[in-house]
Every structure is written in structure tokens, then in C-alpha cells.
A and B are shown apart, each in its own frame.
Chain A
Amino acid sequence: EPEVTQTPSHQVTQMGQEVILRCVPISNHLYFYWYRQILGQKVEFLVSFYNNEISEKSEIFDDQFSVERPDGSNFTLKIRSTKLEDSAMYFCASSGRGAEPGELFFGEGSRLTVL
């Protein structure tokens, strides 16, 4: 069964460092998302991406965050200068081969720990 894969599974970084989280969505999917979940809290929407551009972003997704689809297969989330409160599980998701997104398929997540 096709799946969304994410790397790294866990990253520990120092505050102020840049972090790149990588995702390989399901082949031929057109819609891509990043969500995050702070430990003990709910899953929160960060950003959606379609047709090589951001279609929507939340208030959390400030200037420190960026997304890219550099090579047609990877979908990356970059945090420029990490803060302690960025510590969370980051989930990538992809969906849809048609005009509407359809069911989202989530990756297993990348756990980010900022010290």
C-alpha cells in the first residue's frame, strides 16, 4: 500500500538552529500538508500546498517557516531559527489526484526536540 514517508523520525536541535523536515508524499497526489502536534495537545494545521504554491497557512506558520517541493517528489518544511515552543511532532500528509483533495494520508511524523 502506498504511504507517505517522513525523515528524520526524530531530530534534536539547539534553539536558533535551522531544521529541515522531509516528506515523500504518495506518488501522483496533488495536495500536500504539514500539521503539527505539541505533546499532549491537538493536531494543528500549519500549511497546505497545491500546484507548487501555498494554498493556505495558519497563524502558526509565520516567517520562520517555509515549505518547498524542490524536485517533484520531496516536500520539505524548513524552520529557520527554531524556538523551544517548536518542539512537537510534525506530520506530513498528502491527498488527491483530482479536483478535490479527498482523503488525507499521514506520514508517521518527525519528532522535533528543541533544546
Chain B
Amino acid sequence: RKEVEQDPGPFNVPEGATVAFNCTYSNSASQSFFWYRQDCRKEPKLLMSVYSSGNEDGRFTAQLNRASQYISLLIRDSKLSDSATYLCVVRDSSYKLIFGSGTRLLVRP
């Protein structure tokens, strides 16, 4: 089983759509959880941390279910500029980040 597994993608949605990404992780001892965004051939950039109570940042909502080892990201009112690869990332007990393979999102006009 992969350490961090994500939706296969790619997701191709119209502007204004709501899109959801899912992620599961295998290590129950994982400490922290994040969504990163990566544009083509660029470095990963932190989009948001994910907390057990769920958290929201503008159009982005992240949820964590520790019992199911499941993380989600919801993007509302998609913009063209949201087109990117979204990386589910888990920090393990030694503080290193473990990345999922990413889900590619393409928002079309």
C-alpha cells in the first residue's frame, strides 16, 4: 500500500465548479497533514494545513478523518488560476514530509 494515495485525476472542470480531492494515508502515527499546490515544473507550495476539526481558507476547505486515515480538499467556485497539481502531504513522526503523487486539476473557461 502506498504511504499516501490520492485520486488518480486529472480533473477537468469548468470555471465556477466545485471540485473535491481525496487522499488516504497508511501510517496511523502520522503527525500532521497538508495540501500543497505544484505548478508545472515548479516547487511545491503550501496551500493549507489540515486540522482534525476541519478548516477553511477562502474557497478552500480541508477535512481530516484520523480514524479512516482520510484527508480531503474541497475547492469552491474554481478559477482558471486554480489549475495545478494538488499534493496531499503527510508529516511522519520523524518530521519528514511524505508526498502523494498528486492530482492534476484543469479549470477551463
Using a CB–CB distance below 8 Å, which chain A residues touch chain B?
31, 33, 35, 41-45, 48, 55-56, 89, 91, 100-101, 103-104, 106-109, 111
Main secondary structure of the interface of B (DSSP, over half): loop
Across the A-B interface, the 5 shortest Cβ-Cβ residue pairs: A106-B43, A43-B99, A42-B101, A101-B95, A45-B96
Is B43's CB under 8 angstroms from A41's CB?
no
Question: Interface residues of B, CB < 8 Å — how many?
Answer: 17
B23 to chain A minimum Cβ distance, whole angstroms, is 12
In the bound complex, how far is the Cα of B38 from the Cα of A91, in angstroms?
12
The verdict on A106 contacting B95 (CB below 8 Å), with A41-B101, A42-B101, A42-B102 known, is no
Using a CB–CB distance below 8 Å, which chain B residues touch chain A?
38, 41-46, 87, 94-102
In the bound complex, how far is the Cα of B95 from the Cα of A104, in angstroms?
10
Point out the residues of chain B lying under 8 angstroms from A41, CB to CB: 101
Point out the residues of chain B lying under 8 angstroms from A91, CB to CB: 43-44
The verdict on A56 contacting B94 (CB below 8 Å), with A42-B101, A108-B42 known, is yes
